Amino acid sequence: MKKVRLLLVAGLVGMLALTIGVPAWGADTIKIGVIGPMQFVQGKGHWNGAIMAEEEINAKGGVKVGKKMMKIELVKADSNEFLNVTDATNAMELLMTRDKVDFVVGGFRTEAVLAMQDIAMEYQKIFIGCGAAHPELCTRVAQDYDTYKYFFRGTPFNSAFLVRTSFLHLKFVGDILKKELGLEKVKVAVVAEKAMWADPMVAATEGFLPKIGMESVGVWRPSPVATDVTAELSAIQRAGAQMIFTIFSSSVGIPFARQGGELKIPAVQVGINVEGQKDGFWEATQGMGEYILTMNTYCRGVEYNELTAPFVETYYKRFGETPTYTADTYSAIKAIVATIEETGSLDADELVKAMEVSERKVASGIVKYMKDEQGRHLHDLTWGPGYLTSLAIQWIDGKPVGVWPNKWVAAPGAPEITYKGIQDYKIPPWVIQAYKK
Amino acid sequence: MNLLRYHLRKLFLILKNEVFVLPSRIVVLLFFLTVLLLPLLYDDPYMMRILILASIFAIFAASWDLLSGFTGQINFGHALFFGVGAYGTAILNLRAGFPPWASIPAGALVAVLAGLLVGLPCLRLRGTYLALTTLAFPIILMGFVFSVPELTGGELGLSGLSRLARSRIANYYIVVITMLVLVTVMWKITDSHMGIIFHAIREDELAVKAAGINTTKYKLIAFSLSGFFAGLAGGLYAHFMRIAGPSTLEISMSFQVVIWSVFGGMVTIWGPVGAVFILFPLLEFFRIWPELRQLMFAIVVMIVLLYMPGGLLPWLRSKIENECPRCKIRNIATRKVCRVCAADLH
Amino acid sequence: MLIDILITSLINGSTYALLAIGFSLIFGVARIVNIAHTAFYMVAAYCIYFTTYRLGFNPLSAMITGIVFVSILGLIVYKIFIAPIREHEQAVLIGTIALAIALQEIMMLIFTGDYLSVPALIKGYATILGVKVFYQQLITFASVLVVLGLMRLFLMHTKLGLAIRATAQDREVANLMGMNESRVAMMAVVISVGLAGATGAIIVPLTTVEPFMWSHPLIMMMAVVVLGGMGSIKGSFYAAFILGFAEAMVVFLIPSGAFLKGAVALSIMILVLVVRPTGLFGVQFEEEG
């Protein structure tokens, strides 16, 4: 009983101490807040990428601001956003008012990022979103520039471009199927988790599939957190699909890939499967996820440019895994630092102006912020050859292997693009067996 | 001048004879004064944010107590009212352009409707059946939210609601004063004739029926009232966070409110309110151990319940106050004889 | 199509049935609404993961270790946290919620939030009437029947079973008849948690192991128990298949609404309860106190 009381008293005293506040730090450091679901892979990516950037920059002596050299200091904030959106906003407020950070990177769940964005904007701090793909985050910038101009998208590019890229993958694999298996028309089952970001993608497939000589046999919308999809898989097999276009950002990607592989459903899986982007995918699917293809940002052995391999390999050595896209906090911090050094200023408004016009090479391509049709600043990432394109990876024998872009011609007459380290796509043997005449 | 003096004297007398005689009343007075004066002394936006959210959740927790504590209709899906209030408010604000002072009460009326819709099929259910059935409602609504993304924004929710007020301190006073008023109103309701019927329904519904009281009517009233207050909390939340999303409907939200209320002590109104003001900052405090945060929270709840199964605040109150065995008036624990009837207290 | 629906619903149903029977038992006997029931199922899953991959056990002995470990854990937790406050219904409710959160957090601390998996007892699938079914799913279905059979034998033909039934019927009278009510309750807890562990062991190879895997089955399990009638094992059994059938229908008939399967199943439950407030086979417990 005494202990309980003691605990309560300790708690109250602690809270008081917390409210009275932490002394302000010296002004010789640049503080960068890293916010994300730190208990989960996404947040770990945020933090690891940020640590790498911090270590590299500080090892060189820090950031040159005018004539002064300033070190970087990271502040970790657990947003807990998967479980509790209120928590995420509190964490952001804490970064702004207690830690008094100069910049923030991170964020994942769109509902939470929208709420956190408002708080960062209120304090006029630059916030680089490294996880949420929804266009809304950036349309806000265009619609209310004065309020939202401090927000930039760091990664991934917005979901409209995700659709375009995954359609390219769909066509890429479809053509291979036609050629190898002698199919005339490829039948596609569209399986998208029931989420708003996937809706336009599903709608777009209706129009797009016939254009590339494919036919839709149905649309399935399982819950993003479904754990058993055998019913969907049986139905898909019944429908006679040869390809499954997957649109998954959540845990449903694991059972779908695993059960599909284990039941040897004679259809190849192509699309977005965020779980398939992680190194743990092989273990999580008991190796049954072999042959699935998903869009991804990084893959060991594949290089966009000369910055890719050093980043991916150092990251792998340091943390024992391939960076996922949230680890692009690395590029985000590097970009901030480069902009600071160029302008020689820490003033947010000045930095925003400089970032809007800059074109910067990062490990995944070239970052250039775009404008919308009306010429308003959108602070969204430019997609396309020469900028950011992302990759497609296929799981082969326990490892992700880069398979796209492989001799990709982006527009008629444009040069073929094949990144260094790309290999050929492999059709699962049971699919070959099912259709090969 | 005389009038003023008269009122001051009266105030002084009330304070002296009614408030300062009982430590629990002093605590309530201190609580009112603290939340009202704190930002004047220390205007930290983070602290104000925590207290604003605590106030919103305090309304929410008290509304649960009003229904589940008083009438015994254990509602495991209270997030439904909160979520409907939040979404209703957001839709009215964004689509119909209602300002916050209109959209929040209107959103709460939508929540009343939800309260009736839930209340009607649940009238015949008892105890655990009711608890587990109500759990299903927010999940069904969540299915609805996802099936009409044009209206609800799907997993993004509805964002960009207008602010309650420009400055944080104005937000603070709007929310905190609303909370103090609403909680007082709820407490008054439970203290009224209706509150007694609520009590009686929990204790013995058959007896209440036998006394010629239409329990169905009162149960529906309880559902609507509770829905109204929870809806107000949801609306305030939507306007303060400037987003109403599916997270307002999650099971964790429903569980959270039950944890607060039972932890603080049910059938009191002030118990859940106090619990929110203890537990919500406590969870923030645990940020110093980010990995252990939720675990510590769960352990604190378990340990407190183990020693104080009736709730923390009633337990504390029973330590500092005794009830007179003869006239049922409460006395401070240090007194030997009752302050009203002079009966021996030991 | 019809065959797909039927087979899928049998398999979905057996998962729910296994969980619901344990939950129903502990409620029927000890009047404990154990929100942490599926959390024990999660702990069993992690235990199997741990023994398989870190200690190198074979799947079967990992399963048995998992079940035993969870039963003991359940007993300890019951003794420390639940038994002292059993009389306070609400406190028990919150206590079990807090317990579930605590277990979830502990698993998160040890194993992080990453998605894990364990190997199946028998790998591969069979084709029944043109529908592909995992062997593991067949095992699930068979174990439901076995568990039900054993439960029936145990409840009808052993002394402890008789005591459990008596206590479920009327706690006070059973106590007066010389049955040690708290011991019976304790045994019911152990059996129930053991069942949760067994369910975990059987189903885990089919799903993903993660710290939040307890919340989805929790809702469906409660829906099953309520629909079947609380405390009625037979009811839980039928209700599990009804809801499994409802879910399968949604997936097959409106594929683009597959995410609604939970919501539809829950709506059915509410509709049934409007007509029969005590579920399909439930009996209204007389007010105790």
B148 to chain C: closest CA residue: C257
**Which of A216, A234, A263 to probe by mutation at the C interface, max C CB count within 10 Å?**
A234
Residues A44-65 pLDDT 10s: 999 999 999 999 999 998 999 8
Put simply, the chain C residues between 143 and 202 with a CB less than 8 A from any chain B CB are: none
Contact by Cβ (8 Å): A212, A170? yes
- State yes or no: pLDDT of A101 exceeds 80: yes
Residue A377 lies in a domain: yes
Domain boundaries, chain C: 21-212
Quickly state the pLDDT bin for A23 (edges 50, 70, 90): very low
Q: Return all residues near C76 (Cβ < 8 A) that are at least 6 apart.
A: none
**Is B156 within 8 Å of A97 when comparing Cβ atoms?**
no
Residue A386 lies in a domain: no
Which of chain A's residues have a Cβ under 8 Å away from the Cβ of C8? 230-231, 234
User: Number of Cβ pairs closer than 8 Å across A and B?
Assistant: 96
Per-residue pLDDT at B291 = 82
Higher pLDDT, B337 or B91: B91
User: Number of Cβ pairs closer than 8 Å across A and C?
Assistant: 109
**Is A93 within 8 Å of B246 when comparing Cβ atoms?**
no
Residues A305-363 pLDDT 10s: 999 999 999 999 999 999 988 999 999 999 999 999 999 989 999 999 999 998 999 99
Which of chain A's residues have a Cβ under 8 Å away from the Cβ of C216? 225, 227
A81 to chain B: closest CA residue: B247
The reply to whether A203 and A317 lie within a common domain is no
d(Cα B226, Cα B261) in Å, to the nearest integer? 14
**Is C210 within 8 Å of A219 when comparing Cβ atoms?**
no
Select the residue of B44, B154, B241 nearest A115 (Cβ to Cβ).
B241
The reply to whether A145 and A173 lie within a common domain is no
Q: What is the dihedral of CA A265, A269, A273, A275, to 10 degrees?
A: 50
B294 to chain A: closest CA residue: A80
A83 to chain C: closest CA residue: C212
Residue A17 lies in a domain: no
Per-residue pLDDT at C289 = 31
- Return phi, psi of residue C252, to 5°: -85, -35
**Is B146 within 8 Å of A194 when comparing Cβ atoms?**
yes
- State yes or no: pLDDT of A1 exceeds 50: no
Tell me which DSSP letter residue B66 carries: I
Quickly state the pLDDT bin for C286 (edges 50, 70, 90): very low
The reply to whether A118 and A206 lie within a common domain is no
The Cα of C164 is separated from the nearest Cα of chain B by a number of Å equal to: 20
Contact by Cβ (8 Å): A420, A399? no
Q: What is the rounded average pLDDT of the residues B38-60?
A: 92
Residue C1 contacts B, CB cutoff 8 Å:
no
Burial category of A346 from C-beta neighbours within 10 Å (exposed 0-12, middle 13-18, buried 19 and up): middle
Q: What is the rounded average pLDDT of the residues A95-110?
A: 92
Which of chain B's residues have a Cβ under 8 Å away from the Cβ of A159? none
The CATH number of the domain holding residue A68 is 3.40.50.2300
Q: Return all residues near A239 (Cβ < 8 A) that are at least 6 apart.
A: A187, A189, A217, A218
**Is B124 within 8 Å of C87 when comparing Cβ atoms?**
no
**Is C262 within 8 Å of A227 when comparing Cβ atoms?**
no
Residue B322 contacts A, CB cutoff 8 Å:
no
The reply to whether A222 and A320 lie within a common domain is no
d(Cα C284, Cα A17) in Å, to the nearest integer? 53
Residue type at C161?
G
Contact by Cβ (8 Å): C217, C262? no
Per-residue pLDDT at A158 = 84
Residues A209-238 pLDDT 10s: 888 889 999 999 888 888 888 888 988 998
Number of structural domains (chain A) is 2
Residue A9 lies in a domain: no
Per-residue pLDDT at C283 = 61
**Is C134 within 8 Å of A263 when comparing Cβ atoms?**
yes
- State yes or no: pLDDT of A22 exceeds 80: no
Select the residue of A40, A222, A259 nearest C258 (Cβ to Cβ).
A222
- State yes or no: pLDDT of A20 exceeds 50: no
Put simply, the chain C residues between 45 and 84 with a CB less than 8 A from any chain A CB are: none
Per-residue pLDDT at A132 = 86
**Is B128 within 8 Å of C27 when comparing Cβ atoms?**
yes
Chains with ≥3 CB–CB distances under 8 Å to C: A, B
List the beta strands (DSSP E) in chain B: 158-159, 243-244, 321-323, 330-332
Which of chain C's residues have a Cβ under 8 Å away from the Cβ of B128? 27, 33, 230
Q: What is the rounded average pLDDT of the residues C29-51?
A: 91
Residue type at A362?
V
**Is B136 within 8 Å of C270 when comparing Cβ atoms?**
yes
Which of chain C's residues have a Cβ under 8 Å away from the Cβ of A251? 115, 208, 210
The reply to whether A165 and A151 lie within a common domain is no
- State yes or no: pLDDT of B216 exceeds 80: yes
- The helix/strand/coil state of A295 is strand
**Is C264 within 8 Å of B301 when comparing Cβ atoms?**
no
HSE of C146 in the Cβ direction (CA atoms, 13 Å)? 10
Residue A39 lies in a domain: yes
The Cα of B214 is separated from the nearest Cα of chain A by a number of Å equal to: 41
User: Kindly report the CA angle at A95 between B158 and A15, in degrees rounded to 5?
Assistant: 105
Residue A142 lies in a domain: yes
Select the residue of B131, B139, B299 nearest C219 (Cβ to Cβ).
B139
Residue A46 contacts B, CB cutoff 8 Å:
no
Select the residue of B241, B285, B307 nearest A15 (Cβ to Cβ).
B285
**Is A39 within 8 Å of C8 when comparing Cβ atoms?**
no
d(Cα B108, Cα B89) in Å, to the nearest integer? 8
> What is the value of ipTM here, to two decimals?
0.85
A232 to chain C: closest CA residue: C251
Question: What is the residue range of A243's domain?
Answer: 160-296+405-435
A103-106 and A365-371 strand pairing: unpaired
Residue A114 contacts B, CB cutoff 8 Å:
yes
Residues A275-305 pLDDT 10s: 999 988 998 898 999 999 999 999 999 999 9
pTM for the model: 0.89
The reply to whether A116 and A63 lie within a common domain is yes
**Is C277 within 8 Å of B305 when comparing Cβ atoms?**
no
Give the distance between the most distant pair of CA atoms in chain B.
Answer: 68
Chains with ≥3 CB–CB distances under 8 Å to A: B, C
The Cα of B341 is separated from the nearest Cα of chain A by a number of Å equal to: 34
When the pLDDT of each residue in chain A is averaged and rounded to a whole number, the result is: 88
- State yes or no: pLDDT of B284 exceeds 70: yes
Tokens of C248: 């399968």
**Best CA proximity match to B116, nearest among B235, B248, B227, B254:** B227
Select the residue of A19, A98, A110 nearest B156 (Cβ to Cβ).
A110
Residue A81 contacts C, CB cutoff 8 Å:
no
**Best CA proximity match to C70, nearest among C33, C41, C107:** C41
Tell me which DSSP letter residue A186 carries: E
The reply to whether A143 and A167 lie within a common domain is no
**Radius of gyration in angstroms for the set of CA atoms belonging to chain A, rounded to a whole number:** 23
**Is A111 within 8 Å of B160 when comparing Cβ atoms?**
no
Higher pLDDT, B291 or B313: B313
Residues C148-204 pLDDT 10s: 888 889 888 988 888 888 887 787 888 888 888 888 888 889 999 999 998 888 888
